[in-house]
């Protein structure tokens, strides 16, 4: 028996967060400020790439009733995933209207972690609405890297520590200004990293704005600095959706047994003999994913993925301090992590691509022992 988990194919990856383990000290990176060339239309809108119009004033759902109505209608068609819309960021007039909405959500399963994402909703001229894409900001993969989604108010005014760190990091900044829109999440390091969605404006005459994710590091002594700025263009969806040629109509499906999931994918997956509790899922009919849990508390321990083909199918776009190739039974495995611990591993074998991700870093010896049993 199969059960729809998420009809919008929300996958465990992100291209915008740089993960480090909780015990690591963040290292500042050079801030990259891209050029912006939108055109102004009216006082409450700015044209972004692709014809999207930024909502410049009140982004709440109540202040944008058309977007709210479209989201509510689209949500009625979904099951297995709980969405909480937080802000309307942009809209695009096509043969109907596309909306870009910041959401918080979680899988409708026990002990599911909270995710943050951009959800794209299309409403046609007849009033029908559906979810057409996802851009993940913080998801369960990022949680493995130490990131936690903000489960409270997204306003910096309601998060004093975040606001203080953000304002201190902005002191003396030249070349661009950043207006905070939403507090997305945090990462415990030696101090704390914060992820904040902002309107970014280059300091030149008649410049307009675009969206950007700003990561700020606050140390234990009250100092703060910008670690990274990543531009966000409405319409961009998770990279794995493109890599897998996924269509939103193809759901992410959970199965009761590994054998059922294998039958859908058309291949078998041999797991470590220590696996006693797990979820079995198929992503877009192509990628077999097993989420291994601790039998005592139900929390995730690691994930295994397998798919036909080659390349990195982990969906983990975090940045790691250490990358190394190791050999496991004549297979070359690329492992990534921090401080000598491995959080991510990818490899290929006999026409298949494999990936593993760990909730907590493990040693190379531990991961080698597990990979040796996976086929």
Residues 142 and 30 in one domain: yes
Mean pLDDT across the chain: 79
Of the listed ranges 23-32, 125-134, 277-286, the one predicted with least confidence: 23-32
In a domain, 249, yes or no: no
Asked if 57 and 157 sit in the same domain, the reply is yes
Last residue of a domain, one of 197, 232, 267: 232
At residue 267, does pLDDT exceed 90?
yes
Residue-level pLDDT at 302 = 92
Is 247 domain-assigned? no
**Residue range of the domain that includes 72:** 2-15+26-232
User: What is d(CA 247, CA 245) in angstroms, rounded to the nearest whole number?
Assistant: 7
Widest CA span in the chain = 64
Residues 219 and 346 in one domain: no
Number of domains in the chain: 2
The verdict on 93 and 36 lying in the same domain is yes
The structure tokens listed for 249 are 């109509």
Same structural domain for residues 126 and 181? yes
Distance CA 307, CA 300 (A): 21
- Is residue 43 domain-shared with residue 180, that is, in the same domain? yes
Unique residue bearing structure tokens 């936690």: 148
8 Å CB contact between 198 and 191 = no
The mean-pLDDT minimum among 111-115, 141-145, 318-322 falls in 141-145
C-alpha span between 141 and 92 (Å, rounded) = 30
Task: Based on the fold, state whether residues 208 and 166 are members of the same structural domain.
Answer: yes
Instruction: Give which of 132, 75, 124 is closest to 100, Cα–Cα.
Output: 132
Q: How far apart are CA 175 and CA 256, in angstroms?
A: 54
Q: Are residues 171 and 103 in the same domain?
A: yes
Residue 283 within a domain: yes
Is 350 inside a domain boundary? yes
Task: State how beta strands 191-202 and 331-338 pair.
Answer: unpaired
**Is position 62 within any domain?**
yes
Q: Are residues 137 and 98 in the same domain?
A: yes
Token look-up 């611990």 returns: 341
In whole angstroms, how large is the CA radius of gyration of the chain?
A: 21
264 and 209 both lie in a single domain = no
Token readout for 118 is 């951009």
Q: Are residues 288 and 185 in the same domain?
A: no
**DSSP assignment letter at 70:** H
Domain end among 232, 266, 285: 232
User: Over 90: is that where the pLDDT of 10 sits?
Assistant: no
Residue 147 scores a pLDDT above 70: yes
Nearest to 113 by CA among 364, 365, 375, 359: 359
pLDDT at 142: 46
pLDDT of residue 111: 61
Q: How many CB atoms lie within 10 A of CB 190?
A: 13
Q: Cα separation of 228 and 345, whole Å? A: 25
């Amino acid at each position: 028996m199969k059960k729809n988990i998420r009809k919008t194919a929300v996958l465990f990856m992100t291209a915008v967060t740089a993960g480090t383990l909780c015990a690591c000290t963040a290292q500042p990176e050079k801030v990259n400020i891209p050029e912006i060339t939108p055109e102004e239309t009216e006082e409450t809108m700015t044209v972004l790439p692709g014809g999207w119009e930024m909502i410049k004033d009140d982004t709440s759902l109540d202040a944008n009733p058309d977007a709210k109505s479209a989201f509510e209608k689209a949500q009625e068609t979904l099951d297995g995933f709980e969405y909480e819309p937080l802000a309307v960021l942009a809209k695009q007039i096509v043969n109907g209207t596309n909306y870009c909405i910041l959401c918080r959500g979680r899988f409708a399963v026990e002990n599911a972690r909270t995710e943050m994402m951009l959800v794209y909703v299309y409403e046609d001229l007849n009033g029908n609405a559906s979810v057409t894409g996802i851009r993940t900001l913080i998801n369960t993969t990022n949680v493995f890297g130490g990131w936690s989604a903000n489960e409270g108010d997204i306003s910096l005014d309601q998060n004093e520590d975040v606001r203080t760190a953000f304002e201190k990091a902005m002191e003396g900044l030249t070349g661009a200004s950043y207006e905070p829109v939403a507090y997305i999440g945090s990462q415990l390091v030696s101090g704390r990293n914060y992820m904040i969605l902002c309107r970014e404006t280059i300091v030149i005459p008649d410049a307009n704005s675009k969206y950007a994710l700003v990561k700020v590091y606050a140390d234990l002594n009250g100092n703060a600095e910008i670690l990274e700025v990543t531009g966000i263009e409405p319409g961009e969806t998770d990279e794995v959706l493109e890599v897998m040629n996924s269509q939103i109509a193809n759901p992410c499906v959970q199965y009761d047994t590994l054998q059922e999931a294998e039958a859908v994918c058309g291949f078998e997956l041999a797991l470590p003999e220590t696996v006693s509790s797990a979820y079995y899922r198929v992503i877009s009919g192509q990628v077999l994913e097993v989420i291994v849990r601790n039998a005592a508390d139900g929390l995730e321990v690691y994930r295994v993925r397998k798919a036909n083909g080659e390349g990195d199918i982990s969906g983990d776009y975090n940045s790691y301090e250490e990358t190394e190739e190791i050999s496991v039974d004549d297979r070359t495995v690329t492992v990534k992590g921090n401080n000598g611990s491995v959080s991510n591993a990818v490899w290929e074998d006999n026409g298949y691509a494999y990936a593993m991700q760990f909730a907590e870093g493990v040693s190379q010896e531990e991961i080698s022992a597990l990979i040796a049993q996976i086929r």
